[in-house]
């Protein structure tokens, strides 16, 4: 049994980052405290930079990565928002930094509790985005993230997102990979270009309108190519460690489902339990878990949901004035299919979502309800 | 000693003729030598030196953002240390990036004590965006956001004392320099780089476009800043001023009159009280750094 944050820290250690740069913020702190402890006790051979804020945390990673070191940071919520500018910059310079996001709501009002508004709001920054269902996945996805991010075809940074408190502070059994095995999977960081006096290059130049569009195109192309790289890398991980991450989505009792629930992160566990109950009562319900949100697995989603009658998307985020980010993508993937997609924005700011809520959402979806905030306390409005 | 024939900042960049910052880049890289990684903040120097796909930098160079050069340098420095590499890290950032938007990042990097040299090329306003006031803009300078007008003499505040702030962080080497004194500047760059830990050099680099003078006057105006005591070249070792360039001081008039940013102090009429206030700044500088050369009394 290990706490989620500590499982993540152990995985990060096994990835051998040479520079760790982070700033404390709840609920990310246990990860960076654990890493600092490893450095202090020679369990991790890294420079640990205790920066003055998150903007500098990621900026130091930019410098370290450009100079040729594997770099790591972790943050959440307000901290990630403070990194907004650096996130775009790191991706634009094609620096394969990996950052853990212990997902948390955005203020105001201030909330330290979980939803996924923080990382979802950075969906356009050019980072790969992985979402973990449990602490096993949270740990494992770090190995995968580094390997995919550093692939010569990709060279883009990656978020590994796992729900704050719900996973980060929860103890679960986690199968820990040994350093020896990790080294077999993840080779040393060897970027094709780095800041090096022996071969000077310029990073982060400015581009006129004659050049800018092509830079963005190349980033988009790389992110889309990551679908194949994730497939191959996930297969390799599976063959070494027995846990297969070759697919960006995962179905649960979905084969003959009439109603499908789509969501990301730890909520998948609750949904699976609710599905088991509903299945026992004869209801044909299944789950499609989305593990990789960027690149978005459009084709995999469309294929996995092609046979269902209706879809309920559970979004722990809201693009205010529109819909949840996941629902928008799922609707795009299913466009023209005639399958009804209903969005349920729920669980924001740590509001608990229980099995009975999932059952109610399924009933509402069957009754063609949806595209709403689920679980509102009407008496407060 | 630096190889004075070595050119690591190439010709063909897009700076204005007479640009003080371009000269700064050339002299600093010359002094630093090829085993250097340069970090630039967003600003004039970054833009005029790296229009993709061309670059003027013959040393490894990185620009990330406006406010984070010191943090990027921290990461590079940590990375080099971990890899056992010998390159020196030199930041070249403007005064806006240093005095204002990058202040937190610089403070953090200096407090942590990374081994790097931070050079602020100080042209005393945001030139890249069109001459707006920064924390380095001198008293009474007219900029586009501190314009002189019928009820304003321009910038209302004196320059922030950045060297003192960084010395207070425990920086072992802090210096000021001027592009008008290249040998002194290059020596200071060499010293800063050779000093273990974070070093800071504030480099006066006049901007012909922003200050309003002809491009062939850049050096002359930089010299006048020193000669009037409005800019003092000094060194601080472990927080103590160890050396300051002495001058036979000229009245500040001789500096102010050369630049359009101070024109409102003379036209339509001379503003005696304002000029006296600026003279008082120079007098305070002279006293503080002991720069006055006392000439023997003239014999009849």
Q: How far off is chain A from B150, nearest CA to CA, in Å?
A: 39
Residue B296 inside a domain? The answer is: no
A20 lies in which domain range? Answer: 2-241
Q: How far off is chain A from B97, nearest CA to CA, in Å?
A: 14
pLDDT reading at B1 higher than 60: no
pLDDT at residue A136 in the model: 98
Q: How many domains does chain A have?
A: 2
CATH code of the domain containing B117: 3.40.50.970
Residues A325 and A254 in one domain: yes
Q: What DSSP string describes chain B?
A: ---TT---B-S---PPTT-HHHHHHHHHHHHH-SSEEEEE-SSHHHHHH-BTT---BSS-EEE--SS-HHHHHHHHHHHHHHHT--PEEEEEEEHIIIIITTHHHHHHHHHHT-SEEEEEEE-SSBTTTTSB--TTPPTT---SSS-EETTEES--SPPP-HHHHHHHTT-SEEEEEETT-HHHHHHHHHHHHHSSSEEEEEEE---HHHHT--GGGHHHHHHHHHHHTSS--EEEETTEEEEE--B-PPPTHHHHTT-GGGGGGTSSS--HHHHHHHHHHHHHHHHHHT-B--PPPPP-
Give residue B243's pLDDT band: very low, low, confident or very high (50, 70, 90). Answer: very high
Last residue of a domain, one of A223, A241, A259: A241
From chain B, pick out residues whose CB is under 8 angstroms from the CB of A204.
50, 62-64
pLDDT at residue B299 in the model: 75
Residue B262 inside a domain? The answer is: yes
Residues A21 and A119 in one domain: yes
Residues A253 and A236 in one domain: no
pLDDT at residue A64 in the model: 98
Query: What does pLDDT average to over chain B?
Result: 97
pLDDT at residue B2 in the model: 58
Last residue of a domain, one of A217, A241, A265: A241
Residues A191 and A285 in one domain: no
Residues A39 and A182 in one domain: yes
Interface A–B counts its CB contacts (< 8 A) at 161
Residue B15 inside a domain? The answer is: no
Residues A164 and A200 in one domain: yes
Residues A309 and A347 in one domain: yes
pLDDT at residue B234 in the model: 98
Give residue B111's pLDDT band: very low, low, confident or very high (50, 70, 90). Answer: very high
Beta carbons of A347 and A120 less than 8 angstroms apart: no
From chain B, pick out residues whose CB is under 8 angstroms from the CB of A196.
60, 87
A319 CB within 8 Å of a chain B CB: no
CATH code of the domain containing A330: 3.40.50.920
From chain B, pick out residues whose CB is under 8 angstroms from the CB of A200.
57-61
Q: How many domains does chain B have?
A: 1
Give residue B248's pLDDT band: very low, low, confident or very high (50, 70, 90). Answer: very high
Run means of pLDDT, 10 residues per run, chain A, 381 residues? 98 98 98 98 98 98 98 98 98 98 98 98 98 98 98 98 98 97 97 97 97 98 98 98 98 98 98 98 98 98 98 98 97 98 98 98 97 97 93
CATH code of the domain containing A83: 3.40.50.970
Question: Nearest Cβ partner of B36 from A93, A197, A206?
Answer: A197
From chain A, pick out residues whose CB is under 8 angstroms from the CB of B47.
206
Question: Nearest Cβ partner of B65 from A49, A86, A196?
Answer: A86
From chain B, pick out residues whose CB is under 8 angstroms from the CB of A53.
104, 108
Residue of B nearest to A90 (CA): B64
Residue B1 inside a domain? The answer is: no
pLDDT at residue A166 in the model: 98
Mean pLDDT of all residues in B277-300: 92
Residue B299 inside a domain? The answer is: no
pLDDT at residue A49 in the model: 98
pLDDT at residue B5 in the model: 81
Residues A310 and A219 in one domain: no
Residue B225 inside a domain? The answer is: yes
Residues A221 and A336 in one domain: no
Residues A269 and A214 in one domain: no
Cβ contact, residue pair A93, B72, below 8 Å? no
Cβ contact, residue pair A53, B108, below 8 Å? yes
B103 lies in which domain range? Answer: 20-289
> CA-CA distance, A303 to A298, in Å (whole number)?
9
B116-145: pLDDT as tens digits: 999 999 999 999 999 999 999 999 999 999
Residues A271 and A197 in one domain: no
From chain B, pick out residues whose CB is under 8 angstroms from the CB of A68.
79, 83
pLDDT at residue B3 in the model: 67
Residues A89 and A116 in one domain: yes
Q: How far off is chain A from B9, nearest CA to CA, in Å?
A: 12
Last residue of a domain, one of A241, A275, A296: A241
Relative to beta strand A2-3, strand A171-172 is antiparallel
Question: By C-alpha distance, which of A149, A56, A6, A55 is closest to B78?
Answer: A56
């Amino acid at each position: 049994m290990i706490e989620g944050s500590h499982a993540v820290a152990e995985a990060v250690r096994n990835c051998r980052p040479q520079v760790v740069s982070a700033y404390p913020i709840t609920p990310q702190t246990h990860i960076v405290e654990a890493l600092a402890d490893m450095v202090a006790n020679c369990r991790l051979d890294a420079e640990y930079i205790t920066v003055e804020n998150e903007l500098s945390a990621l900026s130091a990673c930019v410098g370290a990565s450009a100079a040729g070191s594997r770099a790591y940071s972790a943050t959440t919520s307000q901290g990630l928002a403070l990194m907004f500018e650096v996130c775009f910059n790191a991706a634009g310079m094609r620096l394969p930094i990996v950052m853990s996001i212990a997902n948390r709501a955005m203020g105001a009002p201030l909330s330290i509790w979980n939803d996924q508004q923080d990382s979802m709001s950075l969906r356009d920054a050019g980072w790969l985005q992985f979402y973990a269902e449990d602490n096993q996945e949270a740990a494992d996805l770090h190995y995968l993230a580094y390997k995919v991010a550093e692939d010569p075809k990709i060279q883009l940074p990656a978020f590994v997102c796992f729900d704050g408190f719900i996973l980060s502070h929860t103890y679960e059994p986690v199968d820990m990979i040994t350093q020896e095995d990790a080294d077999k999977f993840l080779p040393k960081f060897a970027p094709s270009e780095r800041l090096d006096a022996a071969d000077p290059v310029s990073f982060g130049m400015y581009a006129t309108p004659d050049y800018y569009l092509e830079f963005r195109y190349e980033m988009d192309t790389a992110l889309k190519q990551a679908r194949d790289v994730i497939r191959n890398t996930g297969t390799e991980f599976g063959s070494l460690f027995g846990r297969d991450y070759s697919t960006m989505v995962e179905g649960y009792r979905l084969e003959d489902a009439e109603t499908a629930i789509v969501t990301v992160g730890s909520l998948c566990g609750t949904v699976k339990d609710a599905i088991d109950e509903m299945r026992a009562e004869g209801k044909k319900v299944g789950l499609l878990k989305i593990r990789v949100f960027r690149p978005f697995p459009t084709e995999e989603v469309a294929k996995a949901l092609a046979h269902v009658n209706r879809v309920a998307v559970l979004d722990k985020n809201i693009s205010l004035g529109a819909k949840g980010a996941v629902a928008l993508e799922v609707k795009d993937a299913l466009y023209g299919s005639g399958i009804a997609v209903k969005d349920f924005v729920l669980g924001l700011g740590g509001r608990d979502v229980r099995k009975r809520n999932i059952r109610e959402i399924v009933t509402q979806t069957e009754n063609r309800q949806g595209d709403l905030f689920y679980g509102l306390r009407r008496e407060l409005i | 000693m630096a190889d004075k024939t070595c050119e690591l900042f190439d010709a063909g960049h897009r700076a204005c003729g007479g640009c003080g910052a371009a000269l700064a880049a050339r002299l600093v890289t010359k002094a630093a030598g090829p085993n250097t990684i340069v970090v630039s903040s967003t600003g004039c120097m970054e833009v005029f030196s790296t229009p993709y796909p061309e670059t003027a930098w013959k040393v490894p160079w990185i620009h990330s953002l406006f406010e984070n050069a010191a943090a990027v340098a921290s990461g590079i420095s940590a990375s080099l240390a971990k890899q056992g590499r010998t390159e020196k890290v030199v930041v070249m950032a403007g005064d806006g990036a240093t005095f204002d938007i990058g202040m937190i990042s610089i403070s953090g990097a200096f407090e942590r004590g990374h081994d790097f040299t931070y050079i602020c090329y100080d042209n005393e306003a945001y030139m890249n965006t069109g001459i707006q006031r920064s924390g380095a803009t001198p008293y009474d300078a007219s900029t586009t956001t501190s314009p002189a007008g019928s009820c304003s003499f321009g910038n209302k505040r004196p320059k922030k004392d950045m060297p003192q702030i960084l010395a207070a962080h425990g920086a072992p080497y802090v210096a000021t320099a001027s592009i008008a004194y290249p040998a002194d500047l290059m020596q200071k760059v060499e010293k800063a780089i050779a000093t273990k830990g974070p070093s800071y050099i504030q480099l006066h680099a006049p901007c012909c476009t922003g200050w309003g003078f002809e491009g062939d006057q850049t050096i002359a105006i930089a010299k006048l800043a020193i000669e009037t005591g409005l800019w003092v070249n000094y060194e601080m070792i472990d927080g103590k001023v160890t050396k300051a360039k002495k001058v036979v001081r000229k009245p500040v008039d001789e500096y102010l009159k050369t630049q359009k940013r101070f024109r409102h102090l003379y036209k339509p009429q001379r503003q005696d009280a304002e000029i006296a206030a600026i003279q008082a700044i120079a007098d305070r500088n002279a006293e503080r750094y002991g720069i006055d050369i006392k000439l023997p009394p003239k014999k009849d």
